Every structure is written in structure tokens, then in C-alpha cells.
Chain A
């Protein structure tokens, strides 16, 4: 969801209005994803290094997050009608108590929903996620819950904040062509990446349509590569071919983030 502030500047709005426009765009995109049968969507709402912004902007973003989390969880049609489940991913130790309260509220309110899963990455960075997973592995080994010989890539992956399912499509808006420390583990597992030259509030259904069609064209090649990779690393593993389009998109947000997540 990158480009809210630049959209605001382009439209002669206050920065916070740009973020509000970004939220409305998110709501539309979630509906499209739901209609397309995408089961998991992750959005990058706030990066850990976004705390480096001005206090005024950070405060405004936190207030917006609090309001919109409650609004999503209580009133949105996606949650009420389509049973979207909200998860907030990130380093909660960095969040103030009132924001945490809103986060807990949104998660609790939707925890039994069986529809699409929406991962909102807030106070998140991929390196924080990976190092947390490593710490959890070390903790579990320290406590005897995990044997050293059982520590492998899967053990690490299962302790990530977004472990499953594997990422199909990563979308970053605003024309920036970098990863910005977002879902690096998941992206590196051969996710299909699309950099879109449009600010997040300008992201349209046509952009979405293009991404989906181009992913469909590339899906077979990517599946083949994943199979080759699995054969190279675990010759005896079973690689069940997943058919068609079941993936979810991730959207990188806020001037240095992206994400897409598939279900």
C-alpha cells in the first residue's frame, strides 16, 4: 500500500487524508480479492522504521489504525457478510497500550471467522520476523521442547509470524522497485512479484486484473521451478501440485513496504 503520502501531495491534500484514501482503497481491494476467491491477503500498513517519521505523522497513523481496526472488525461488510478474519502481525512491544487494545479487539472479534484471512502487518519488518523465529527456535531448544537435530528450515518457517500458506503474489505500488524489508522469507520462495507504477489509492481493478492474468500465465513456470527446487533439496518429498488460482495477494504499503500472501 505504498504511495499514500505522494498521492496526498499530488491531490493537494493533507498527508493523513492520503492515508485515509489508502484505507478506502484497501477496502475495495479486499472485496475484489474476496470475489476472486483469494483466501489470504497480507497488507503492509506500518513498518518498524516508519517510527522514524515525524511524531505528528506517527501519532496520526496510530489514531487512524485504532479507528479503522475497530471499524473493520465491527462494521465492515467483509467481516459481517464474508467472515473475514483479522490478524495483526508485527512487533507488539513497539505499540502503545491503546493501539494494542484496538488490535486485540479486532483479532478477538473475528477469531472464529472462517472466511478470508487478512494479515495486517503493523510495526513489522521481515528481519524482525526472521530474528524472532530464530529466537523462538533457540528458546524451544533451551527449554527442551525442540531437539537440536530437529532444527531445520521447516522448524524455522513454522515459527514465522506468517508461516503459511506460501506466498503466491507480491504487489508493490507507487513504482518503487525494492523489497523494503517486507516478507522477505516468503517472497524469496519464488513468489511472483509485480511492481505497479501507481500510488496505492490509485490502484484500480484494471491493475488487479492485469496482475492476476500475468500471474496465471507465469504460474506453470513457477510451479515447475518450485518442483525442481524441492527435488533438489528433498528428493523423497511429495510435491502435490496445486492447481489454478488459490493465491492471495499482498500489498506493500506505506512508502517502503509490500506484501502479498496467498491462501
Chain B
């Protein structure tokens, strides 16, 4: 131990002495370069220390925030726990509370994180399927007309079959809808991408075929990167083609025309509230046109409870003041 300590002390000292001797023997130009290197090194070290201090400060802030909010809300059990009369009453109370919020979003968007908590392709998909199920359940409890669930890479779109199956079997969804199976319309892509792929029919999820023809209880759209920038490019191509064939004049293409082309066929607004399920406040190529009036609510990807996040997002949305430029 003592010899190790001596080594740890003597070796750096010897190195410094050696450097000092070398710098004494070297020309002024090399001395200046060494001086500059030392200065750069010290600046880099200072910057690293600042980063470290900031990281500690930020972690402390998050810990404080989490501690403060932990006791406030634990609604996850309302849909996940064993169904009892007491739980059903609490659920109804929460549903009534959410319905009476002074301001409610018409279109609630959720951006799922880049990588799920699961490892391996299958587990990522089933994790995301579970997330969709949870979000649909909470959306139904809050009686939201529309949810838009976004993954940049579109992995949910390739799991539409799994999602459909899961929603049809879901006890959580039924509990959220007062014990019966809701009529959910599951849309795979936005209006533009669906038009591009000649898709007309969306999946209707209801065991009762009569209900599928009635007004849906909720629309759920699965979006990806393709519904954003590529969709705008496809729209431009389509309009350019019409202009070239004389069916359209470029002068007619203004903001309101483009807005009409991009509006939701079911008449819903663009997302008013977005739950960003990510550690960074960074929008991963979400369709830009649809972000125009979106409020953002961020939760870290380590957060386990989507239910809590949804309820917090809705309650904070209720308090915002929209000025529309005035």
C-alpha cells in the first residue's frame, strides 16, 4: 500500500519535472505551443467540471421533482389492479374529474421513445403494443376523441395486427370504457400516406359489427416519420403533377389550400397536446405541419407509469392560456 502511494506520487512528479526540463531546452515556439496545449487542456478540464456540476444539479432537480410528485398521483392501479367496487368508484371519480376539466385536448399525441425498455425486436414490439393498449385505455377513460401515437421508425405500423388483437382482448380497455368493448377506429398512417398507399378502410375494433358502423368512441392513429416530411414531398409531387396536366394552377396553392389537403378526414384538429416520452425535449421528425398549435408535456423514458403521465398532461393542459397570437 505504501509503495503504491509512493509510486502514485512520484510518477506524476517525475513526469512534470521531465516536461519542465524539456520545455527549458526547447525553442520559444515550442514552449508557446506547449503553453497553448496546457491552456487548452485546462479549459477542457474546466468544461468537463462544469458539465459534471451541471449533471449533478440537474439530477438533484429531477430527484426533487420526482419526490414531490410521487405522493400526488398513483392512478395506474385504477385500470391495472384487481377490479373491486371501490376501485370502480375511484375510476369513475377520476373519469368525471377529467371530463370536467375546463380545457381538454381533441387530439392527444404521444411520441414513444426511440428504444423501448425491452431488448430484442419481439420484446420491443410487445412493449410498444402494451404502451398502445395503456394509452388507449387512458384515452377512453378521459373520453378523448382522438389519439395519435408516433414512433419515428414506424414499428407500430408493422404491429397493427398485434395491436388490434390486444385491444380486442384488453380488460384494461373494457374497464376504462365502463365494462363494455368500445368502438375504436385504428388508422395506420395519416390521410396523405393512406391516399398514397390507396388505403381507404381503417380497422374498426369492436366485437359488435353493428357498433362498427356507428360513430367511433375513439380514433387511434399510428404515425411514423413517413407521415411527416415524405408525406409533404408526396403532396408536392401530386400537386405538381396536377399543375403540369393543367388541372391546377400554382397560384391556387396557398396556406389554406395546403391545410385542406392535410386536414384530418374525420374532422379532428391537429394534435393539441403532445406527451413526449423521452429524456430529451427533441421532436424526432414528427409531422411538422401538425405541430402548429401543440402543447408539449415531457416525461422521461424511465417513467414507468403512462397513466400518471397522461393524467398529469391533461391536468396541466387544462390550465394553459391560448392566445392565438392576440
**Contacts from A to B (Cβ < 8 Å):** 47-53, 125-128, 130-131, 134-135, 137-139, 141-142, 146, 148, 151-153, 155-156, 176-181, 184-185, 187-195, 210, 213-214, 216-218, 221-222, 225, 228-229, 232-233, 255-256
Distance, CA A47 to CA B309, complexed state (A): 32
Q: A135-B253, A152-B233, A214-B54 are in contact. List 18 more A-B contacts (CB 8 A).
A: A49-B324, A49-B325, A126-B288, A131-B254, A131-B255, A134-B232, A134-B258, A135-B254, A141-B244, A142-B244, A148-B241, A156-B233, A179-B294, A180-B292, A184-B291, A188-B283, A192-B280, A213-B51
B250: contacting residue among A128, A135, A187, CB under 8 A = A135
A148: contacting residue among B152, B237, B281, B288, CB under 8 A = B237
Q: How far is the CB of B61 from chain A (nearest CB, A)?
A: 11
Chain A residues within an 8 Å CB radius of B114: 225, 228
The 3 A-B residue pairs with the shortest CB-CB distance in the complex, in nearest-first order:
A49-B325, A141-B240, A184-B288
Let me know if B6 is at the binding interface, CB within 8 A: no
Chain B residues within an 8 Å CB radius of A178: 293-296, 320
Comparing B180-188, B207-215, B222-230, the segment that makes contact with chain A is B222-230
Distance, CA A9 to CA B215, complexed state (A): 47
Are B235 and A190 in contact (CB-based, < 8 A)? no
Are A153 and B233 in contact (CB-based, < 8 A)? yes
A256: contacting residue among B244, B257, B296, B324, CB under 8 A = B324
Chain A residues within an 8 Å CB radius of B289: 127, 130, 184
Are B240 and A190 in contact (CB-based, < 8 A)? no
Are A151 and B51 in contact (CB-based, < 8 A)? no
Are B240 and A185 in contact (CB-based, < 8 A)? no
User: Which residues of B, 235-266, contact A by the 8 Å Cβ criterion?
Assistant: 235-237, 239-241, 243-244, 248-250, 253-255, 257-259
In the complex, which residue of chain B has the Cβ closest to the Cβ of A128?
B255
Question: Which of A134, A141, A213, A216 has the most B CB atoms < 10 Å from its CB?
Answer: A134
Distance, CA A195 to CA B153, complexed state (A): 26
Question: With A134-B258, A193-B281 given, is the CB distance from A229 to B241 under 8 Å?
Answer: no
Distance, CA A156 to CA B258, complexed state (A): 14
Contacts across chains A and B counted by CB atoms under 8 Å: 167
Please count how many residues in chain B sit with their CB below 8 Å of the partner chain's CB atoms.
Answer: 53
Distance, CA A228 to CA B155, complexed state (A): 14
Distance, CA A152 to CA B232, complexed state (A): 9
Distance, CA A216 to CA B230, complexed state (A): 30
Distance, CA A134 to CA B50, complexed state (A): 45
Let me know if B1 is at the binding interface, CB within 8 A: no
Chain A residues within an 8 Å CB radius of B253: 131, 134-135, 138
Are B58 and A255 in contact (CB-based, < 8 A)? no
A156: contacting residue among B232, B294, B320, B323, CB under 8 A = B232
Chain A residues within an 8 Å CB radius of B249: 142
Distance, CA A233 to CA B50, complexed state (A): 37
Chain B residues within an 8 Å CB radius of A49: 324-326
Let me know if B286 is at the binding interface, CB within 8 A: yes
Are A221 and B280 in contact (CB-based, < 8 A)? yes
Distance, CA A233 to CA B284, complexed state (A): 13
Distance, CA A232 to CA B296, complexed state (A): 26
Chain A residues within an 8 Å CB radius of B283: 187-188, 190-191, 193
Chain A residues within an 8 Å CB radius of B54: 210, 213-214, 217
Are B325 and A50 in contact (CB-based, < 8 A)? yes
Are B225 and A229 in contact (CB-based, < 8 A)? yes
Chain A residues within an 8 Å CB radius of B281: 192-195
Let me know if B71 is at the binding interface, CB within 8 A: no
Let me know if B45 is at the binding interface, CB within 8 A: no
